[in-house]
């Protein structure tokens, strides 16, 4: 359930790209439409996952992405929003977090009270992936796609997990407004994740203002 936003640096006007984002429409897809777009989505995944030169181990795999998409599509409440102009520009997909709090299983330390309360009330949506094609205004496009998915599900908080060694993705998410709240490791899992949340709306943002992030280690606390 790791998020996979685009890693490309936003280019400035004059780099051969248009200075303004072409008219982009957002569209919600059901499972059947997602199946029809599998190849286009895997292509978007590869484009949004720029591989550092000389790093073959981080080369994006279309098949691995499609395998994870198949698993996520089976989850209750699965939803996807895509952004398209002349071509597919971005997408985000995920599923609602259950009120029992099991999604947070393995969190290092005590889960902040505000997040625990939002989870119990059914106001948290887990992002499995956020894919944005590198573009001068990719941050704005990411904001629109994320907010649309949260709004459609009447959720006030997004949540995602990122491999703690995946520094480019963590940097991108933080630049998009995500808050790093600590580490999480699934029982029997080998990967340690950073847990990040994205508040929607002033009230939710205010509720999370007391969180203290510790990027290098333990979880947060609340003032």
Looking at the DSSP bridge assignments, the partners of residue 93 are 80, 129
Domain around 76:
26-52+59-207
pLDDT in tens, the chain (223 residues): 344 544 433 333 333 344 455 688 999 999 999 999 999 999 999 888 765 444 444 556 888 999 999 999 999 999 999 999 888 999 999 999 999 999 999 999 999 999 999 999 999 999 999 999 887 788 899 999 999 999 999 999 999 999 999 998 999 999 999 999 999 999 888 899 999 999 998 888 888 876 645 454 444 544 3
Q: Which pLDDT score is estimated for 21?
A: 53
Q: What is the pLDDT of residue 220?
A: 52
- Written in H, E and C, the secondary structure of 32-62 is HHHHHCHHHHHHHHHHHCCCCCCCHHHCCCH
Residue at 1 is within a domain: no
Asked if 210 and 223 touch (Cβ cutoff 8 Å), the reply is yes
Q: Which two tokens stand for residue 177?
A: 């407004």
Contacts of 60 (CB under 8 A, 6+ apart): 45, 46, 49, 51
- 222 belongs to a structural domain: no
Q: Tell me the C-alpha distance between 30 and 11, whole Å.
A: 33
**CATH number of the domain residue 199 falls in:** 3.40.630.30
Residue 152, pLDDT score: 93
Residue 11 lies in a domain: no
Encoding tokens for residue 100?
């029992």
Which secondary-structure segment (H or E) carries 194? Answer: strand 192-199
Residue 197 is assigned to a structural domain of this protein: yes
Q: Is 121 domain-assigned? A: yes
- Does residue 64 sit within a domain? yes
Residue among 182, 176, 169 at smallest CA distance from 104: 182
Count: domains in the chain = 1
Q: Has residue 32 been placed in a domain? A: yes
Q: Looking at residue 213, what is its pLDDT?
A: 52
Q: Does 113 map to a domain?
A: yes
Would you state the pLDDT for residue 211? 66
The pLDDT assigned to 95 comes to 96
């Amino acid at each position: 359930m790791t998020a996979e936003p685009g890693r490309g640096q936003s280019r400035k006007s004059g780099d051969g790209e248009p200075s303004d984002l072409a008219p982009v429409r957002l569209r919600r897809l059901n499972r059947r439409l997602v199946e029809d777009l599998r190849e286009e989505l895997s292509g978007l995944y590869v484009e949004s996952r720029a591989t550092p030169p000389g790093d073959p181990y981080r080369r994006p795999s279309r098949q691995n992405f499609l395998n994870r998409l198949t698993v996520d599509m089976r989850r209750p409440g699965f939803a996807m929003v895509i952004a398209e102009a002349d071509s597919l520009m971005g997408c985000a997909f995920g599923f609602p977090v259950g009120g029992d709090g099991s999604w947070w299983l393995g969190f290092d330390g005590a889960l902040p009270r505000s997040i625990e309360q939002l989870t119990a009330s059914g106001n948290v949506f887990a992002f499995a992936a956020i894919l944005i094609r590198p573009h001068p205004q990719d941050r704005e496009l990411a904001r629109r796609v994320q907010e649309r998915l949260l709004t459609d599900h009447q959720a006030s908080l997004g949540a995602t997990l990122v491999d703690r060694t995946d520094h480019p993705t963590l940097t991108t998410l933080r630049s998009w407004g995500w808050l790093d709240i600590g580490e999480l490791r699934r029982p029997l899992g080998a990967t340690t994740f950073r847990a990040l949340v994205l508040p929607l709306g002033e009230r939710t943002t205010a509720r999370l203002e007391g969180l203290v992030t510790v990027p290098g280690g333990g979880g947060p606390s609340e003032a």
